[in-house]
Amino acid sequence: MIVFVTTFGQKGGVAKTCTSIHLAAHWANAGRSVVLVDADRNRSATAYASRGLLPFAVVPMEAAAKATRSADIVVTDGQASSNEEELKNLVEGSDFIVLPTTAQSRSIELTVEMACMLNKFDIPYAALIVKADTRKKSSIQIAREILQGFDIEVLRTEIPLLNAFENAETEGVTVDRAVTKNGRSDRRRMSGFYAYSKACDEIELLMPHRKVIPMPIGWNVSRLEDRCA
Ligand SMILES: Nc1ncnc2c1ncn2[C@@H]1O[C@H](COP(=O)(O)OP(=O)(O)O)[C@@H](O)[C@H]1O
Ligand SMILES: [Mg+2]
């Protein structure tokens, strides 16, 4: 069964694309067949992937039907849209929705608004605190409490604010492969990567009936009839 995970929410660089890329990368590295569907007209996920250095395919929405035929997991980088019809379609096409949110008050407000809209549907969703400045622990805690006060599920994992994410995007790689401007491996790159891996584990637990079980390395996951005798 294919699992559809959608990242969406507010406009303005809240790390939707970065989140989609790293969720997809975690599952691809775990041996799953992952396709990232770029549903944003800006095509930023497509641009990110253009160097061909990501461990999964990125396809535009229009090509999604065929490209996702043999996928286990489809991650959709959603459009930051205020068009109700568009949002409804995205929601109904998802098994789980991730709402990246920063600790800034405007971002929290927008996530609360989005959650009110999502409550009309029977699709599980959770906020993910991104760009978390570890020097500002109390504002992150307040953000978490405000969201939870509106009955919004908030993933325990927070994604740290790291230059490594921007450097990785410039190079077209995931954050674990980020290098600094002078060409050295970024010291904090793995903390960014592991944070997204932990977020994936939490998402799987919140989708109990569609658990994305990691495939042991070396397993042949192709359909029986497609394999050579
Ligand atoms: N955790 C992070 N720390 C630092 N920069 C980040 C982080 N996540 C994303 N970014 C950067 O923020 C910018 C906006 O992210 P992006 O994923 O493109 O946002 P959106 O898709 O919501 O517009 C990009 O330059 C990206 O590299
Ligand atoms: Mg984007």
Write down the pLDDT at residue 229. Answer: 47
- Ligand 1 contact, 54 CB (< 6 A): no
What protein residues have CB closer than 5 angstroms to ion ligand 2?
16-17, 44
Mutate to test the pocket of ligand 1, among 44, 166, 175 (most ligand atoms within 8 A of CB): 166
The CATH architecture assigned to 3-213 reads 3-Layer(aba) Sandwich (3.40)
Closest CA to 196 of 3, 2, 4, 5: 5
Write down the pLDDT at residue 181. Answer: 85
The pair of structure tokens assigned to 227 is: 């394999």
Mapping DSSP onto H, E and C, the string for 150-199 reads CCCCEEEEEEECCHHHHHHHHHCCCHHHCECCCCCECCCHHHHHHHHHHH
Closest CA to 7 of 97, 120, 125, 128: 97
Write down the pLDDT at residue 9. Answer: 82
Q: Is the pTM of this model over 0.85?
A: yes
Query: What residue ranges do the domains of the chain occupy?
Result: 3-213
Ligand nearest to the CA of 41: 2
- Ligand 1 contact, 102 CB (< 6 A): no
Quote the longest CA-to-CA distance of the chain: 60
pLDDT mean by block of 10 residues, the chain; 229 residues: 89 93 98 96 96 97 94 92 84 95 96 94 96 96 98 98 96 95 90 97 84 56 53
